[in-house]
Amino acid sequence: MKRICWFISAHGFGHAARSTAIMEALFNKHKDIEFLVVSEIQPWFFEQNKLPITFFSTKTDVGLVQKDAFFEDIPKTVEHLNAFYFNLNSRFRAWDEVITPFKPDLIVADICPAALDYADSRNIPSTLIENFTWNWLYEFYPAYQLELAPILSYMDSAWKKANLHIQMKPYCGDALSHSKISVPVSRKVKDFQVAEKLNLDSAKKTILMTMGGVPMEFDFYERLKELKNVQFIIPGAHKEIKFEDNLRLLTHHSIYYHPDLVHASDVVIAKVGYSTLAEVHNAGTRLAYIPRYHFRETEPLVQFVKDEMSGLEIHVDDLNSGNWISRIDELLNLSVNDSKKINGADFVANEMSNLIAL
């Protein structure tokens, strides 16, 4: 039996989504494996994958403090970073109470730098999986560099302690000489009949609107109901599941698996984020993407969409106002890249297996 302790950033659901994809690939190859997920992500997120997971709910990093799905609060982020990285030894001792009895053979960080420092201090092999690192992202805010300098220095040191470093496309910054490069990693489809369960009309086009796990309600639903030849799936749109005319308004914590919804859709409308982008890419469908150009990860993700996917940009103001509705025909007429995609989850799982001789 092998045991893997998996630290997952709770900044959105993207880190948890791709970590789950890799955990599932590992479990499909090696049934004699157990996971300890260390994260503030709630256990319900992992339930549909039916993996042998024990959960340890604790703060693992800060990421960015968000005002909403599109805008971050940098002063508050700096405040939280200083609080988190103060007296890490005390935090490590608290982690010991759960992690030491688990006896991990490997510690994985997505993308928690303190996890790698912790693994090194306890002589446990470690793996870093990322498409960007936090210090790379924090460097985008020059007004805060003096305050952040000690934390950036700590992070730079922590990343180098990983025994295995995997960068997943579309990665940000430069490819590192010592890292392994993976194609996009995403969770795989589980239910190919989800369209029937949502009572979708196969003769009509389907558009999925997703904000990366952040609940959002819009004022344009009545306008969408007027579009009789298009149907919409909107996770996080309501406190309960509601089927209204051509709308499928789903809860934030939905019984429907997100990769299944992506696969059932002709177009996905989403803010630019790693996990949604990877799922849409691997499904080979169209993407209407909402960029956050004040967010450093956005530019390389948008460039990947332009180079590798069928995509069209929508400004956040046009999303909120509903002006994007006039472009639905343009979205549906985008060519589809239907070439077979390789999911990087299996590659990453193989690299980790080699590290701990699974």
Q: Is 173 domain-assigned? A: yes
Q: Is 22 domain-assigned? A: yes
Q: Is 337 domain-assigned? A: no
Give SS3 for 66: strand
Q: Are residues 167 and 237 in the same domain?
A: no
Q: Are residues 124 and 201 in the same domain?
A: no
Domain boundaries, position 77: 2-185+344-355
Q: What is the CA radius of gyration of the chain?
A: 20
Q: How far apart are the first and last CA of the chain?
A: 9
Q: What is the pLDDT of residue 262?
A: 96
Nearest to 42 by CA among 53, 31, 52, 34: 53
Residue 129: give its domain's CATH number: 3.40.50.2000
In Å, how far from its chain's centre is CA 148?
25
pLDDT along the chain (358 residues), means of 10: 96 94 96 96 92 97 85 91 94 98 98 98 98 94 93 96 97 90 96 95 96 74 94 86 93 88 96 93 95 89 95 93 95 86 94 91
Question: Exposure of 325 by Cβ count < 10 A (0-12 exposed, 13-18 middle, 19+ buried)?
Answer: middle
Q: Is the dihedral of CA 317, 262, 167, 9 positive or negative?
A: positive
Q: Which two tokens stand for residue 246?
A: 């051509």
Q: Are residues 168 and 202 in the same domain?
A: no
Q: What is the pLDDT of residue 357?
A: 86
What are residue 170's DSSP bridge partners?
A: none
Q: What is the pLDDT of residue 214?
A: 64
Q: How far apart are CA 280 and CA 197, in angstroms?
A: 21
Q: Are residues 168 and 235 in the same domain?
A: no
Please enumerate in sequence order all residues whose Cβ is within 8 A of that of 235, keeping only pairs 6 or more positions apart, or say none: 208, 209, 210, 250, 251, 252, 254, 256, 258, 261
In Å, how far from its chain's centre is CA 105?
25
Q: Are residues 198 and 179 in the same domain?
A: no
Q: Is 326 domain-assigned? A: yes
| 278 in Cβ contact with 255 (< 8 Å) | no
| 230 in Cβ contact with 205 (< 8 Å) | yes
| 208 in Cβ contact with 269 (< 8 Å) | yes
Q: Which two tokens stand for residue 247?
A: 């709308």
Q: Are residues 283 and 134 in the same domain?
A: no
> CB neighbours (10 Å) of residue 60?
29
Q: Is 338 domain-assigned? A: no
Q: Count of domains in the chain?
A: 2
> CB neighbours (10 Å) of residue 78?
18
Q: Is 31 domain-assigned? A: yes
Q: How far apart are CA 167 and CA 45, in angstroms?
A: 24
Q: Are residues 42 and 181 in the same domain?
A: yes
| 257 half-sphere exposure, CB direction, 13 A CA radius | 21
With DSSP H G I counted as helix, E B as strand and the rest as coil, what are the percentages for the chain, rounded to 5? Answer: 40, 20, 40
Q: Are residues 293 and 348 in the same domain?
A: no
Q: Is 92 domain-assigned? A: yes
Q: Are residues 26 and 161 in the same domain?
A: yes
- Long-range CB pairs of 284-287 (<8 Å, 24+ gap) are 284/336, 284/337, 284/338, 284/339, 284/341, 285/310, 285/336, 286/310, 286/311, 286/312, 286/331, 286/332, 286/334, 286/336, 287/311, 287/312
Q: Are residues 284 and 351 in the same domain?
A: no
Q: What is the pLDDT of residue 217?
A: 75
Q: Are residues 6 and 54 in the same domain?
A: yes
Q: Is 281 domain-assigned? A: yes
